[in-house]
Chains A and B, each alone.
Chain A
Amino acid sequence: MFKTLNKDLLAGCLMWRVIMFISWTDLRAKYRRTLLGPLWIVIGLAAGSIGLGLLWSVLWDMPTEEILPRITIGFLVWIFISTSIIEGSNSILSEEALVKNLCLPISFYPMLSMTKQIINFFHSLLIVLFLYLFYPPENMMNLLWFFPAIILTLVNIFLIIFCSAILSARFRDIPPFISAVMPMLFFLSPVLFRIQQAESLSWLMWLNPLTYVITILRDPLLGHRPELIFFIGMGSLAIILYFFLAILLKKKINNIVYWV
């Protein structure tokens, strides 16, 4: 059952140099003729997240040192996750010409989309370093939790976009559906407020898988230790997605080229 998926993933991974090169040149092409290049991503995110953090601290009457790092980091993580999923679900459709004219592994396309978002995310982490100058993390040792958390997050997001990219090629309702549902998931995520503040609606936030992804990445960056339950939840999600993807690819890998 896993042979098709593993073979495709291995072939995709062996193309890592090509993926890095194409992603980088795509980003360079996007920001060609701009003065600051990809730094515009950092500036845009910094303006949005810090502005929102300052506004929220006034509206909720909470100390800036408590709310500003939480909202800024939460917002950065949210942008990374939501953009990865929205762009990733279109990754096969948007590379239609390559799919129809070159024999590349299917995993190449979600990997390409994901790599661009990872480059953007690591750019935006500059904002976090800037934030630490004024609001250092509570416990520096807990920053180490960021590494297992980011690996688990990347695995989960990759599997989600791989599945959704294949399904989106077949069913064209899926990309607009994902774009439509993202704003709702944003308000059901603990980005702008804590889960406890949602009171009677907090159970809805626990049902949102993105709550776990945001928490597991944000907590270490704030210097908090994430709870083990989040790691278990995301590990379980990755296993379920892997099984689903293995079945999907085994049955449909040869049809994908006809769908685009």
Chain B
Amino acid sequence: MASISIRDVILDMPIFDVGDRSLRAHTLGLLSRGKILESSNKKLMIRTLNQVNLQIKDGDAVGLIGPNGSGKSSLLRLISGIYKPTMGLVEVEGDLRPLINLGVGLEPNLNGIENIRRLGALYGHKQEEIEKILDQIISFSGLAEFINLPVRTYSSGMVLRLMFSTLVTGAPDIVVLDEFFSAGDEDFAKKTGKRMEELMDNAKIMVFASHDKSLVKKYCNRFIRMDNGHLTEITEKEV
């Protein structure tokens, strides 16, 4: 049983500028009790999530929509355990795999197969498990003979194929995806859609943030609009 429970969460994110990162500015600020370079020691805090409540259970494919800066990626990182809430509680049960940025964890000078092993290791697979599903991943990626080339020679669409294939093979309980479909071609988009449907048929959880409303409608069965850190559950018609 996989589940995500977010209760009364507030997420404040500090923003540091060049002055804040300087040891000299910080030391002078401390020594002068804030009289010197006081302004550079003031942290700018942005409330990226405000009083967020959300319960997600098996079989939920949650689509997040909203303008840039509305808090979609912050919510994905919060669910993935990368950000910890300033206030409130986040509980996640199940094997969670995030795909928030393309290319993360890849070594450009290694070939596709070696990078599948790397990514698999980072997603928590043992090497023996990776070897068992390696052929399946290569086949799903559709990269054919390109799989033996260094990843630095790949287009962003090919990187997406490699990463998505590694992410969804091996039946994770929860998949967290940020906007990424634009990088893939039509053929891979079809395969991806099919894999997502299979994933949801097995009563797994998917959380997917996108600006593309048609994709969200296609793959999701729950819809959430994010606006200025606030979350509102909406119907498919309202998307």
By a beta-carbon cutoff of 8 Å, the part of chain A in contact with chain B is 17-18, 21-22, 25-26, 28-30, 32, 97-104, 170-174, 177, 254-255, 257-259
Contacts and interface: CB of A to CB of B under 8 A. Distances in A.
B101 A32 contact: no
Interface stretch (B15-23, B51-59, B194-202, B223-231): B15-23
A192 B173 CA distance: 58
Contacts of B126: 17
Contacts of A26: 107
A177 B14 CA distance: 25
B14 A255 contact: yes
A224 B107 CA distance: 43
A98 B105 contact: yes
Interface string B126-159: 1100000000000000000000000000000000
A174 B22 CA distance: 9
A259 B15 CA distance: 8
Contacts of B83: 257
> When A and B form their complex, which 9 residue pairs have the shortest distance between CB atoms, in order from nearest?
A103-B81, A173-B23, A29-B109, A171-B23, A254-B84, A101-B104, A18-B121, A172-B21, A97-B104
Contacts of B104: 97-98, 101-102
A89 to B, nearest CB: 13
A58 to B, nearest CB: 42
Interface in B101-115: 101, 103-105, 107-110, 114
B37 interface: no
Given A101-B100, A259-B16, A21 B118 contact: yes
Contacts of A259: 16, 21
B82 interface: yes
Given A102-B82, A103-B81, A171-B21, A97 B121 contact: no
B122 interface: yes
A177 B27 CA distance: 14
Contacts of B103: 97
Given A102-B104, A171-B21, 14 more contacts: A18-B122, A22-B122, A32-B110, A97-B101, A97-B103, A97-B104, A100-B82, A101-B101, A102-B105, A103-B80, A103-B82, A173-B22, A177-B23, A257-B83
8 contacts: A17-B126, A21-B118, A99-B82, A101-B104, A171-B22, A172-B22, A258-B13, A258-B14
Interface residues of B, number: 32
A102 B118 CA distance: 13
Nearest to A33: B109
B153 to A, nearest CB: 13
B82 A29 contact: no
B191 interface: no
A32 B110 CA distance: 8
Contact of B101 (A100, A104, A254): A100
B42 interface: no
A28 B111 CA distance: 11
B118 A171 contact: no
B161 interface: no
B24 interface: yes
Nearest to A172: B21
B98 interface: yes
A22 B118 CA distance: 6
A98 B22 CA distance: 24
Contacts of A173: 21-24
Nearest to B85: A254
Nearest to B124: A18
Contacts of A177: 23
Contacts of B82: 99-103, 257
Contacts of B100: 100-101
